Structure 1
């Protein structure tokens, strides 16, 4: 009886919330289905990268300058004042965690791992102070959705952030380069192909720092990267 009451109560709260705060397109502000983030017309304005995960692309070229990388993929191109920037900022700073679910769906429509897929998905961690402040890691729901679709295990704890810093968006170029030794591997992991997942690829310093932490403390490990957006 208690379970039924709780379910009815949650559904009622959801209905009230949807009525008071209807879901609107992040670009044109028109009412849209609660499972979407932009309307069909505005989705055409989203600057998708159209990368080939298994081939050469602009992210692969950047990443390969810093780390030995097997594959690299960015869903979006991230530019100032763009719709892609608005989507990422809503996800990270405006408590819109469910945007990660939509971005994961867009990924699964574009990448097919049926012939060759990684062994483990690993999300970039937040420092515990930032996690407490934000209330969630914007990559967790995103990573979980990818894990379910592709049937690949995901770890949110393989890496630990041991240095606290300001948000990347608030840093200048020099500050973004000062994240050396900010991450720590919580356990050795060998003989795996790891797909590292982050939100925005800017200088590549975060990915490089994490990748070398894994490579230097593991054996026979391959690294690929996947990000929601890359700075251009």
Structure 2
């Protein structure tokens, strides 16, 4: 492609020229701090989620560190129009997440408010979810959970404000007897996934597990 000649894809960390479908070069890939969690064992996220709601299983792909490469990757995805990063993150996840014989019934990603979706142009979790759906052969539903309140990005709020935010979520339809894998980008306070989890858990005999791209450590 002519555009690739004049505007080659570069590693988001060191700026080396790399293949068009990559985020980082091989050297910088070694600096990504993956969690190496086992979905079926207790880990940091299951312990933290259980402080708020009865989570089944939980998995995080990376450690979200203030000066780490994972933070740069997430910010490229969310704030720099790098929607394709979701596909790369999904590929990395599929190489590390093994459901074994306990696959969830449905993949559900945290929604954006319609106004925020118009501003950003895409939900950073949708492509990630869709790639995983195809890989694991698990259906997804982008419409099940609705965000009813518009607010500024969680990353731009102080911790006290995040904790004080009222539950802005609701379900678009009743759902019963399902094991839902709820997907978010970064697990910080746990407030977002907890709010959605309780909406799912209060309607029928449902179960909730959590998958995040990164966990704040």
Q: Same fold (TM over 0.5)?
A: yes
TM-superposed deviation, 1:16: 3.4
The answer to whether structure 1 residue 30 and structure 2 residue 16 are counterparts is yes
Q: Secondary structure at the match of 2:129?
A: helix
- Pairwise CA RMSD of aligned residues? 0.9
Aligned to 2:154: 168
Which residue, 88, 104, 122 being the options, matches 2:74? Answer: 88
Aligned to 1:195: 181
What do the CA deviations read for 1:63-114 (whole angstroms, capped 9, x no partner)? 1111101100110100112100000000000000000000000010011224
- Mapping for residues 192-231 of structure 1, pairs under 5 Å: 192-216=178-202, 218-231=203-216
TM-superposed deviation, 1:54: 0.8
**How many residues are paired up?**
217
Which residue, 96, 117, 132 being the options, matches 1:110? Answer: 96
TM-superposed deviation, 1:59: 1.0
For the pair shown, the structure with the greater C-alpha radius of gyration is 1
Aligned to 2:58: 72
Aligned to 1:137: 123
**Structure 2 residue ranges without an equivalent (≥5):** none
What do the CA deviations read for 1:23-57 (whole angstroms, capped 9, x no partner)? 11111110111111011111110010111111111
> TM (normalized to structure 1)?
0.91
1:215 and 1:159 map into 2 onto residues whose CA distance is: 13
> TM (normalized to structure 2)?
0.98
